Structure formats: C-alpha cells, structure tokens
Amino acid sequence: MERTMVIAPGPTANGDLHLGHLAGPFLSADVCARYARAAGRDVLFGTGVHFTQNYIVTTARRLGVPPEELRVRSGEQVERTLKAVGIEPDGFVPFDERYVTGVRRFFERLHAAGGLVLRSVPFPYVARTGEFLTDAYVRGTCPVCLSEGCAGLCEGCGHWIGSGELIAPCSTLDPDDEVEIREARVLVLPLEDHREALTAYFAGLAPTMRPRLARLIEELLAHPLPDYPVTLPISWGIPAPFPEVEGQVIYADAEVVAWSMHSSALAAERRGEAPAGEDALWFAESGAKVVYFFGSDAGFAFGVVGVAMLMALGGYTLPEHFVTNEFYELDNDKFSSSRGHVVTGRELAAEVPRDLIRFYLAATGPDFQRTNFTRGAMSQVTASRLVEPWNRVADKAARAAQESGGGPLPVSARSREAAARMAERFGSAYDARRFSLTAAAFTLTEQLGRLDRWEVTAADAGDFCHEVDVFLRCAAPLLIDLADEALPDLTIPAASPATEVTPRVLPRLTETAQ
C-alpha cells in the first residue's frame, strides 16, 4: 500500500501553541491524516517541537528562566494542547540525545557527499562581548520588504535574511551594544549550485502550490540564490562535528530535513515498525510520499533549503506537496505571546467542545489569506451552522429509528449515488493535492444544510438515515468526538454498497464543554 508521510514542522519551543498555530498546519495535517486513514490509505503523521533555535534563549531571558527549562516545559505544553483539540500525531519529536545524534549524522553525510563548502560570511558582531549575533540575537530592517524583524526567515516577505544582510542591525541581547559587521568562516550549502534542479522541481509543483509560496519561489529564482549557513559561530545549538569550524554549532533552521526524517521514524516506531535508520522511510525506493503542512513563512527553510539538501544527498524522495497557510489573527490583531494577545487551544477547549473548535478553525482557516478569530463569531457560527442543524438532523434520525421499530430500512440507488457524490466532494477538500480546511468546512455546512432541509417521509426514511451515516463518516476528520460516539467504525467507502440501513439514535451536539 502506498504510504504518505504527513509532516507538520514543530514550532520553536519557547511557549505553548495558540489558536493561530492550530488553525494553520496542525489541524490541517491532522485532518488530512485522519481522512487518508479513513479512506484506507497508509499514513504516518509526524510533528513535535523544534528545540534548538536561539529564540528559546531570548524568550527565556525575557521570562527569567533557564532556556533548557523553557524548552522542556514548552514541549510538554504543546503536546497537551494538541491533545486537548484532538490533534493526534503518530510521532512527536522530543529533544533528546537520539535527536542530537541524528542531526550530527545527517550533516556528516551531507558533508561527506560534498554538499557543504567553507565560505566567509558576514555577521553582526559585538566587540564588547566577542559574540556574533544571528537570528533572534539581532533585529533590523529586512532588505527585501523593509519590515522590522530578526534575522532568518522574514515574516513579512518569507525571504531568508542572513544576519549580516539586515539593514541597521542592533543587538536584542543588549540594544546599547555597538554592532559591527565581521566575517566568519562557516560551512554553507551553496543553494545556487542547485538552481537547475530546484527550478525543475518547483515547476513540477506549480499546479498545487498556494499563491504565496509560488510567489516566493518565483522571487527567489529571479536572483542568485544565497549561500545558506549550516554552521554558525554561536554557542547555543547542537555542536557541529567538523574540525574546520571547531566551536561552532549547527544552524537550527538547517535541521529541517533531519528533524522531518526523525519525526517519520518516530511515527513508524509508534506503530510497531522498526525502520532501519532515521532516514530509511525517506529512501526513494521506499515509495513513500511526503506532504508538508506549514505557515508560508517557513517555505524557504522546508521548500528551498530542505529540498536542496535532499538533492545534494541524492537517493531520497522529494516532497510531493507543500500545503502552506497564512496568518490567523485574534480580534483583527496578530497573535502575540509577548503582548499576552493569545487564546491557547487548551483555554478554549476547557469551555467549548473540541468538535466545535475544529469546525470553526476549519471554517475560518487561513488557507489562502489572513483570517480572523473572535469568540463572538465562533459562538454564532457554530450554533447556527453546526449545532442547531445537526441536532435537528439527529432528532429526525431518532424519529426514523422509532418508527421503523429498529428494523432495517431500504436504501435506493438514488441515495447510493448521492452518497458517492458527497464522499467525492469531501474527498476533494481533504486530499493532500488540493487540501483545504475551508473547503472541507464549507462542504460540511452545505451537506448538513441539505440533510436539515430534508422533509423525511416513511418512504425515504432509509435514504435519509443512509446519507446521514455517510455524512458523519465524511465529517469525522473534523467532528472527531461526534463520529467516535455515533459510528462503529470510521471508514469512508469509495462507493456506498448499502441496500438497507438500520436507523440509529445519534448523539446531539452541545455548545459548552461538559
């Protein structure tokens, strides 16, 4: 059976997940994996937390806690939050010796394959402390889009901005420090060497890339691609295992592929398999497909750098799809942990049933553009488009069950045909190729509305109950608790073979968590 490895790259381990994280890659990856499984496909869903970025150091400093403590605590919070909203990965990447060893081995192989070269790269430098400033340690103006931010991936334009390229850099560790630019010899991945292969690869992906990623790739390929540092002259991170850059660490953002492979290996192990190495599932001959879910601002790291590394190594499968998302806002303002402008998944799940949360995050999901969360709109939309219509449908099903005396009711060929169309509509929203949370929620609302308007008679009660059953199976990747309670199994058959149906009493939805 063809295997798909669904990967939602972990957030930086410097805090809990807020709704913005959940509404983007995590819910999408979970829904995609649940659907594929229900449709009889083999799926491994891997995620976790990323424990090595120096944002952990700067956040820990702000909070007055040791960074090692912050990252462990954050990892635990993220796991609990995912669980609270029913996001169930097969593998979750923790920070441990095995991960560190895996990363070092990965870069040793990449270096041995001739993928890395030693180059002089400019970095902001503070003479007072003798420290180079990279990523979270330095703020300035993005030379591409002129927005303010740290070095690395720019949230504004999605380009990767080398620390030494920032306009007017200043230290975030101590803003009063004088910053100069100094060169350091580091190992880099020369992305320009992979231009031809990257161009061909992204041309193949063009039909399914969402617009913002497609634009980024076009902008990047219009200019020489940068030398991407794989080691950095700082002290926070995994020590680089190369004598020519002694004392340096692996650039955390360069760990993308090693991290992804590790998440797949852990996912397979949780299922009782024993892959022959961290990367075994990623060998091209394994035939597995890789599908990524991440925010658009991670496109450079996973799309360009990750793919170029896989090309440099050779023999590995290249990602089949990148399903990207945009920002999700809270009350028309960016989610911000440092300003306390957040709603965490766990807070909301304590008050609202998680099926309603999943439905609403999907209905307003930032698939293609910035979207917005407000508590008031959530109450209104979930009540009028999900809870009330579903409860009316459940009432009609209960009446049909009562009137049939529990016996089976006939299902017509028309109803089998309608069920097949319904499964097809849901399938096209859930399938990785054109995956869309908003399309899935829209289909759910439309089909539920149809069942709600149905004036059930004795003659078509069987058809009604049959289509409610198929609807629930199709809605199950979103409405996990309702489906678990109502259905004996969660399979979604490609064609409904039912000629009769036994009406069931169905659970009702409530608007507040029990």
CB of 141 to Zn ion, least distance (A): 9
Those residues whose C-beta lies under 8 Å from the C-beta of residue 432, and which sit 6 or more positions away, are 4, 6, 32, 36, 289, 291, 320, 321, 323
Please identify, using beta-carbon distances, which residue of 106 and 302 lies nearer to Zn ion: 302
Q: Which residue, 157 or 482, is less far from Zn ion as judged by CB?
A: 157
Q: Which is nearer to Zn ion, 304 or 418 (CB)?
A: 304
**DSSP-assigned states of every residue in 234-294:** SSSSPBP--GGGTT-EE-GGGGHHHHHHHHHHHHHHHTT---SSTTGGGBGGG--EEEEEE
Binding mask 288-307 for Zn ion (x = CB under 5 A): --------------------
Residue 368 neighbours by CB under 8 Å, 6+ apart: 210, 211, 326
Least distance between Zn ion and beta carbon 157 (Å): 3
Q: How far is the CB of 216 from Zn ion (least distance, A)?
A: 10
CA 147 – CA 60 distance, rounded (Å)? 25
C-beta closer to Zn ion: residue 212 or 321: 212
Query: Tokens at residue 133, please?
Result: 């400033």
- Nearest approach in angstroms of CB 302 to Zn ion is 18
Residue closer to Zn ion by CB (options 153, 476) is 153
Query: DSSP letter string over 122-163?
Result: EEEEETTTTEE--GGGEEEE-TTT--EEESEE-TTT--EE-G
As measured in angstroms, the least distance from the Cβ of 161 to Zn ion is 6
**Binding track over 460-499 against Zn ion, x by CB under 5 A:** ----------------------------------------
Q: Which is nearer to Zn ion, 160 or 390 (CB)?
A: 160
Cβ of residue 146: shortest distance to Zn ion, in angstroms? 7
- For Zn ion, the closer CB: 158 or 477: 158
Burial 47-74 (b: 16+ CB within 10 A, else e): bbbbbbbbbbbbbbeeeeeebeebbbeb
The residue count of the chain comes to 514
Nearer to Zn ion (CB atom), residue 157 or residue 387: 157
- Binding to Zn ion by CB under 5 A, coded x per residue (else -) over 236-275, reads ----------------------------------------
Sign of CA dihedral 368, 372, 373, 379: negative
323 CB-contact burial (10 Å; exposed 0-12 / middle 13-18 / buried 19+) = buried
Number of residues that bind Zn ion (CB under 5 A): 6
| Residues 134-173 contacting Zn ion, CB under 5 A | 142, 144-145, 154, 156-157
| Minimum CB–partner distance for residue 187 and Zn ion (Å) | 25
How far apart are CB 300 and Zn ion at their closest, in Å?
11
Closest to Zn ion by CB, 70 or 154: 154
CB of 304 to Zn ion, least distance (A): 15
For residue 500, the cross-strand partners are: 410
The letter for the amino acid at 115 is G
**Residue (of 303, 272, 268) closest to 286 by Cα position:** 268
Of the pair 253, 469, the CB lying nearest Zn ion is at 253
State the CB neighbour count (10 A cutoff) for residue 300. Answer: 27
Please identify, using beta-carbon distances, which residue of 113 and 167 lies nearer to Zn ion: 167
CA 428 to mean position of chain CA atoms: 19
Residue pair 505/395 in contact (Cβ under 8 Å)? The answer is no
Sign of CA dihedral 497, 501, 502, 504: positive
Least distance to Zn ion, CB of residue 149, Å: 7
**What are the backbone angles phi and psi of residue 170, rounded to the nearest 5°?**
-140, 150
CB 253 within 8 A of CB 364: no
Task: Tell which residue, 155, 306, 289, has the closest CA to residue 216.
Answer: 155
Nearer to Zn ion, 139 or 504 (CB): 139
Token pair in block for residue 32: 């995609």
The binding track of 401-440 with respect to Zn ion, each residue x by CB under 5 A or -, is ----------------------------------------
CB of 143 to Zn ion, least distance (A): 8
Least distance from C-beta 144 to Zn ion, angstroms?
Answer: 4
Rounded Cα gap, residues 215 and 226, in angstroms: 17
Contact indicator for 230, 103 with CB cutoff of 8 Å: no
Binding site for Zn ion (CB under 5 A): 142, 144-145, 154, 156-157
